[in-house]
Structure 1
Amino acid sequence: MKRLLLSFCLGTTVFLSSCDTLKQIGSVLIPSQAEMAAGLKDALTQGLFSGFDAFANPNSGNPLLRFALPGDAAKIEKTLKDIGMTSLLNDVTSKFTNAMTSAVVAAKPIFLNSVKQMSLTDAAGILLTDNNHAATDYFKTAMSPQLMTAFRPIVDSTANLNGASKAWSNLANVYNKIPLVSTKIETNLTNFIAARAIDAMFVSVANEEENIRTKYEFRKTDIMKKVFGYAEQEMKRRKGA
């Protein structure tokens, strides 16, 4: 009887030990799907705040935050400078750069809510990958149309308020009347500016995601430390297998 009881206890211990092994790799606990999704969303949110901070300082030298002419920018810029429109060009660049900044600041809730509303159906697949921008890529694919729809009116409003739209309309009308200019430029840049600002935000998010995946000090929340710590260990284990 004692021998039977001992065998049962040993078997139970082995079983429980096996269960514990399934729940952790090395010293890192395996997060649940819900925890993985929460960690990924925390990373995206942190990336958005990195983008907000960048847009709050548009004169930092980051080319993504500076207004750029649509189409063949270099050709358009040279043509305008050749006919003495440098001052107007500089005015447009300054006003639209400021309009982009104001629009992003005003749209903070839209960007943050888009992360909250996003459904992560395959959190493990997004987390466990060699692609250091996987969550950003998913976010961009899933939420870009909704972001564009919500963000466009804000860009339109800020560009009108600070005079950027009027300045651009004047510049475009001058350019389109230049003899031998075969490709006319649009007189309304709302869609172009909205798309450029959103793309710049995604670049900031992608950069932050890569830092979070590869550098412990960028994991600012407990759930990020757990989720990305696990991902780091699991990817090393897979590569070593």
Structure 2
Amino acid sequence: MINSELFQPTIPIGEPELMRASAYQRYLDEMRTEAGGISTRISQLSPSLKADLLRFGEDGADSEVVEVMAACVRHGKRVTIHLQSGDRVVPLTVFAQERLVHCPVPPEELVGKPLLDLKVMHVEPALLHPPGDTHSPLVGAEEAHYPLAPLLWELAMRGLRRELLPEIAGPAVYRVAPGLDVSSLPASGALVAAIQRLARQGASLREMSDWPGMDRERATRLLNALYLQSGLIVSRSHPDAVRDGWF
């Protein structure tokens, strides 16, 4: 596990002090050398989460931010994702069960840049604990905690991934879950119309792609975003899903 002294979750006075990506990469290379050439990128994670990330490439090396975040949410794990943003490394701690993240920079600043610049460098079990934990020395500063949902939405709608996440891919008909608060989603225009339509009736990805203001990529991103909000029902037994699979 990474030495906690390498990263201070927040700096009480002034701007957060972030490590240079080049220095952090040297650190990762040194860890790999000490391990006899075996990458330690995700070796500290639980077997189930590690197996999930391995689907995206050898040792999870090709995984995109939204894929790692989705895996953390699915498994309900507290994980720190070290992201390269420009020439700095931002440690993003995900508290999946609490639906919070801890980040030394505001998430809107992190995703305000082109998301092509965000790169997953390392994933490890979280050192920090969530707010309210009894072990207070390991709880980050209150002002550095943010809701998870808006960040997941931005990563799904603007990130690198243009295909459905594996859990919802394949022949299927999709609907918006009844309990989803549609008004809370940062959507507008054709996306709102599509969400409202999915709340009334199911549709396949192919059908959604032909809706006004939509295409295949936009429909795919919307479905990923809804899934990450726990707001998507996936039916594979629906006649339209079976028909799509047959053809």
TM-score interval (norm. to shorter): under 0.3
More helix by share: 1
Who wins on radius of gyration, i.e. which is larger? 1
More strand by share: 2
Larger relative contact order (Cα-Cα within 8 Å, sequence gap ≥ 6): 1
